[in-house]
Structure formats: C-alpha cells, structure tokens
Amino acid sequence: MNKYVVTGGAGFIGSAIERALLRDGASRVTVIDNLRSGKEANLEDVRSSVDLHRVDIRDYDALRTAMEGAEIVFHEAAIPSVPLSIDDPVPSHEVNINGTFQVMRAAAAVKIRRLVYAASSSAYGDTEVQPKAETMQPAPKSPYALQKLTGEYYASVYASCFGLDTVSLRYFNVYGPRQDPSSPYSGVLSLFIKCILAGKAPTIFGDGEQSRDFTYVEDVAQLNLKAARASGFSGRMYNGGNGGRITLNQAWSLLQKFEGVSIPPLYGPPRAGDVRDSQACTKAAVRDLGHDPKYSFEEGLRLTLEWYRASVR
C-alpha cells in the first residue's frame, strides 16, 4: 500500500508534490484525479512511480478504496479561479465544498494519519494591513474564496469532531512549470508568459497596481512535505506564501526585460471578486512547520519562462 495520496495529483501543484515526495525517498504515490483539468502529461516523468485512480472527489466509495492503507493525504483537487466561480458557480461549489467534505470523510474512515489541505489566500479578502496573518478575520469576496474557506473550517472540525489530523495551507498565488495557460481563467503569470513568448500584449484587469505574493510551486511542494511531518498543530491553518509582494505591472516589466522586448499591456476593467493586495506573513509557518521558501520572484519567474519556452518547442 502506498503511504501517500495526492488528490488532484495530475495537476500542476499536485504533481509537484509527487515529484518532491519521490525525490525525498517515497517509493510510490497514489494519485486521485478525474483529469478534468489535471493531465497525464504532468505525470510523464513520474508515471512508473504513481498509481493513478481516475476518480471524482465527490465519489466517497472510490475515494475510500484509493485511500485504503495510506497514511498521508494531500488534498489539492479543486476547481480553482475566482472569476470562474462567479461565471459558473455550481461546479466549483460542488467540487470545492462537497468534494472536499467527501475527501475528509473518506480520510477519517480509513484512519489517515494526517491530511494536508490546500486552502487559499483569497479567504482573507481585502485587508487594510499587509502582510496578512493567520489571526486576521477572513472576509471572502467570491464564491471560490468562500468555498476554500469552508474547506478549512471542515478541516478544523474534522480534527475536533472526527479525530482526523489536519493542517491547512493557505496558498498565495502559486506559479511555476506545468501551470496550464490554456484558459482565460488560468493563473495570470501563465497567461503573461504565453503572451510574451508569442510577442503579444496581455490584458491587465484594472490599473495593474494590484499586488500578489507569487509563490514558486517547488516552495509550496516542500511546505506540504513539512506540514505532513510536523507533529502537533492539528486543526490549524498556515499561510503558504513567499512573503513578498509584486504588482502585475512589475511582473510584466520583468518578463519584457528577460525577453529584451517592449510590449505595452492592454488595460481592461477590474475583475469582479478580485482582491487588491495580497502578501503573506510567513512567521507562523516558519516557526511551526519549518517553512523555508527558497525561490525569489525573479528566479522562479525565469525558471518558469524557460520551462514554457522548452515545452513550446
């Protein structure tokens, strides 16, 4: 039986966690993914070491079967995107809330030792104070933010009422290789990189002065491994950010500098449900989990750009 299970394991964050686990000595990893947005191509280099269960996370019985005998579950499966949750709220509600409930229910039933839940910085909403600390009141501004926050509350309640050891990590705008740029709902850096490689102008929603704590996927994968191993802290939530803050205008400028081009962006109206500024306070995650982000924005963006360039070729 495999010790580790990753839901959403064919996605860009889930597959990074698998790679980190395998590098760290795991012999095999169980992947649960319905391949709605996950891709088998993301598993190409680890295919011989993963057991893929093509399962929807709303399917309790199939989850139980796939998790039987495992010790650790990383719950990454979700329908992401703030604007998608506004344009089409039913699927994201069903997967992000009902699916998350079934994952925790199944994990509790098979007596998983720890479940690490992928929460979202969107739960904070707009706060006057930056960086955002775990002690601040949540204020979700979109269905997606509310759904991810509900998952956190379920993780905490599963710890207190059902004996399932859980830790939630609020991700802050994760980016890196394998992030899918093919949809208008894709993460902004993947869309920016697609544009710069095609020599096209991106569309920036608003004035481009909104900021994000862009966090490199490898740092997030390592934090997941640490959260799985840290003893204690069950039912708690931690920021999984880099600790910095970059505006969209700065990100696009840096890409132009890397490529030695000048392409003015197009500006459109601000997006509904958007948070203005987002920066993580990393103190609690550093103190309790040993969080140690290694990639500066410049370094992570350069590595990501190189990966997309190679994959386009």
The answer to whether residue 295 is catalytic is: no
From the CB of 191, what's the least distance to ligand UD2, in Å?
A: 5
* Site membership for ligand UD2, residue 187 (CB under 6 A): yes
* Site membership for ligand UD2, residue 204 (CB under 6 A): yes
Task: State the number of binding residues for ligand UD2 (CB under 6 A).
Answer: 23
- Which of these ranges, 3-11, 117-125, 154-162, 281-289, lies near ligand UD2 under the rule CB under 6 A? 117-125
From the CB of 153, what's the least distance to ligand UD2, in Å?
A: 16
**Residues between 63 and 102 with contacts to ligand UD2, criterion CB under 6 A:** 80-82
**Residues between 276 and 305 with contacts to ligand UD2, criterion CB under 6 A:** 278
What is the torsion angle, in degrees rounded to the nearest 10, for the CA atoms of residue 273, residue 138, residue 229 and residue 226?
Answer: 50
From the CB of 162, what's the least distance to ligand UD2, in Å?
A: 26
**Residues between 245 and 264 with contacts to ligand UD2, criterion CB under 6 A:** 248
Q: Which is nearer to ligand UD2, 115 or 195 (CB)?
A: 195
* Site membership for ligand UD2, residue 210 (CB under 6 A): yes
Q: Which is nearer to ligand UD2, 38 or 187 (CB)?
A: 187
**Catalytic: which of 4, 117, 144, 216?**
144
Q: Which is nearer to ligand UD2, 102 or 121 (CB)?
A: 121
Q: 92-126 burial by CB neighbour count: b if 16+ within 10 A, else e?
A: bbebbbebbbbbbbbbbebebebbbbbbbbbbbbe
- Which of these ranges, 4-12, 90-98, 268-276, 292-300, lies near ligand UD2 under the rule CB under 6 A? 268-276
- Which of these ranges, 23-31, 45-53, 198-206, 298-306, lies near ligand UD2 under the rule CB under 6 A? 198-206
- Which of these ranges, 42-50, 89-97, 205-213, 231-239, lies near ligand UD2 under the rule CB under 6 A? 205-213
**Residues between 139 and 158 with contacts to ligand UD2, criterion CB under 6 A:** none
Binding site for ligand UD2 (CB under 6 A): 80-82, 120-122, 171-173, 187-188, 191, 202-205, 210, 212, 248, 271, 274-275, 278
Q: Active-site positions?
A: 144
